[in-house]
Amino acid sequence: MSRWKRTAILALAVAAVAAFSLLPFLWFLVTSFKTPLEVTAIPPLIIPSGSFGFYRSAFGRYDLLLYVRNSVVVAGCTTLVTMSVSVFAAYALARLRIRRRGLILGGLLIISMFPQISIAGPIWSILQKIGWLNTVQGLVMPYVTLNLPLAVWVLTNFFGELPKEIEEAARIDGCSHAQILFRIVLPLAAPGVFTAAILIFIYAWNEFFFALLIMTRHRLQTLPVGIALFQGQYTMPWGEIAAASIVATLPLVLVVFLFQKRIVRGLSAGALKG
């Protein structure tokens, strides 16, 4: 098979996968700009009339802006706390002489693979006893626990690939461990730090199970739960759900699109350098 044929087949395969992945998003995007009559039209309309009625209804009738605010607070706090802890843990694992370091990292990965349902009961019981149900911190802490292994793993690989000579030179110049970490290591490991922060934010933004379990009050629910609980009088409000889903998805799409090079670099740098 010639080279151009292999290239053409590969391009077609990539296009097919991309089309299959984007089809639900594009369909919801089209639906969000339809009118109620167009949503139920048979055969379905491909080109909408361009109405913003579903967006106005989602923000006005279903309190979409409230859910967006709650998700921003929860995802932002989760990212901040997780990165604050994981930076110190990862730097210690990468630079200190810790026995069975590989076993610790392997344990972190194993912990991150636990099914959510297997730990839901204990987490709910603990939060109930300390009075953290229906609180921001009550939702943030499980998110931090679930995201710490990934963050520590990514940052440990990054810190481990940085040349030790730079840190040794800074130590000779009189820099403390804290100064070395914040003034030298973190700037050099910015792609890894940025990648870990983006992945954590996306997880906290999209997470549904614990948000549904812990946040039972309407005013505290996050976007995924709020959208799932949209209710109509007799039917499902598919138009409002489509509009709300676009509002929830578009920020993540823009972030990944704008910073895709940094994200790819952050995920692959450890493997390439090693």
Same domain, 11 and 143: no
Among 28, 51, 74, which residue terminates a domain? 51
Among 51, 75, 92, which residue terminates a domain? 51
Same domain, 122 and 240: yes
Q: How confident is the model at residue 83 (pLDDT cuts 50, 70, 90)?
A: very high
Task: Count structural domains, the chain.
Answer: 2
Q: Which domain holds residue 116?
A: 62-273
Any long-range contacts for 165-170 (C-beta under 8 Å, 24+ apart)? Answer: 167/95
Same domain, 122 and 77: yes
Residue 148 and residue 156 in contact, taking contact as beta carbons nearer than 8 Å: no
Q: What pLDDT, on the 0 to 100 scale, is given for residue 43?
A: 87
Q: Name which of 123-132, 137-146, 151-160, 204-213 the model is least confident about.
A: 151-160
pTM higher than 0.75: yes
Residue 225 and residue 70 in contact, taking contact as beta carbons nearer than 8 Å: no
Same domain, 33 and 89: no
Same domain, 182 and 80: yes
Establish if 57 belongs to a structural domain: no
As a whole number of angstroms, the distance between CA 22 and CA 18 comes to 6
Same domain, 192 and 66: yes
* CA 39 distance to own-chain centroid: 31
Report the CATH number that the domain containing residue 129 is assigned in CATH: 1.10.3720.10
pLDDT, tens digit (0-9, with 9 covering 90-100), for 163-176: 888 888 888 888 88
Q: Is the pLDDT of residue 80 over 60?
A: yes
Same domain, 13 and 74: no
Same domain, 140 and 13: no
Contacts of residue 88, Cβ cutoff 8 Å, sequence gap at least 6: 181
pLDDT, tens digit (0-9, with 9 covering 90-100), for 129-146: 999 999 999 999 999 989
Residue 34 and residue 239 in contact, taking contact as beta carbons nearer than 8 Å: yes
Helix (H, G, I), strand (E, B) or coil at 2: coil
As a whole number of angstroms, the distance between CA 182 and CA 127 comes to 34
